[in-house]
Chains A and B, each alone.
Chain A
Amino acid sequence: DTGVSQDPRHKITKRGQNVTFRCDPISEHNRLYWYRQTLGQGPEFLTYFQNEAQLEKSRLLSDRFSAERPKGSFSTLEIQRTEQGDSAMYLCASRGQARPEKLFFGSGTQLSVL
């Protein structure tokens, strides 16, 4: 179990630029989640994949955000035309089918939009 890996750990970008984050889940996990966390708040759900299918999207995920999981393994989260309000920690989590129903989180990508 190598854990959930996220890349990069930190990203600084200028407003209006596009950014892409990558998540590598635990290898046998077919469910993958993206969350966003701002300072002092708990993580907020963004979207969920089962294998390559994106099954649920939060209203927080505006049309500037897109997530993919093309082969049912790693996932990418892209933000187009970044805004200062996008500054946050973006967390990825994965889960297998075994009980208990627990998520394994990565360490996140910290995005700062200047």
Chain B
Amino acid sequence: DAKTTQPTSMDCAEGRAANLPCNHSTISGNEYVYWYRQIHSQGPQYIIHGLKNNETNEMASLIITEDRKSSTLILPHATLRDTAVYYCIVLLIIQGAQKLVFGQGTRLTINP
């Protein structure tokens, strides 16, 4: 699976949009970009995923560049409860085990 690079930490003001970048310059054509987050003392939680097109769900939006070498997770109106570690993962979807390979992620702090 392709390696991802994320900033170690970021801050964002409550109510503003939080934009979390991820570089995955070695991604192959059939690998998906997944985002999970982990709030303190909990297991990771799925947020969103995409292949080529931008995606939006009730939690976030995912913007993938045209060359697919990077992506941005957007939390449109960040709240204090969005403080967490955010993991960007590139995953090849095939039959069988699709084990997620986590990096160190971005520690996002939402400030009041």
Contacts of A93 in B (CB 8 A): 43-44
Asked if A1 is at the interface of the complex by the 8 Å CB criterion, the answer is no
Segment among B14-22, B63-71, B75-83, B92-100 that sits at the interface with chain A:
B92-100
- The answer to whether A101 touches B93 (Cβ under 8 A) is yes
For the complex, give the distance between the alpha carbons of A107 and B43 in Å: 5
**Given known contacts A101-B93, A104-B46, A107-B41, A43 and B102 CB-to-CB distance under 8 angstroms:** yes
Kindly list chain B residues whose C-beta atoms are within 8 Å of the C-beta of A103: 44, 46, 100
**Is B91 on the interface with A (CB-CB < 8 A)?**
yes
- Which residues, 16 to 65 on A, are CB-close (under 8 Å) to B? 31, 33, 40-45, 48, 50, 55-56
Q: Is the CB of B97 within 8 A of A105?
A: no
8 contacts between A and B (CB under 8 A): A4-B43, A45-B100, A45-B101, A56-B97, A91-B43, A91-B44, A101-B93, A106-B43
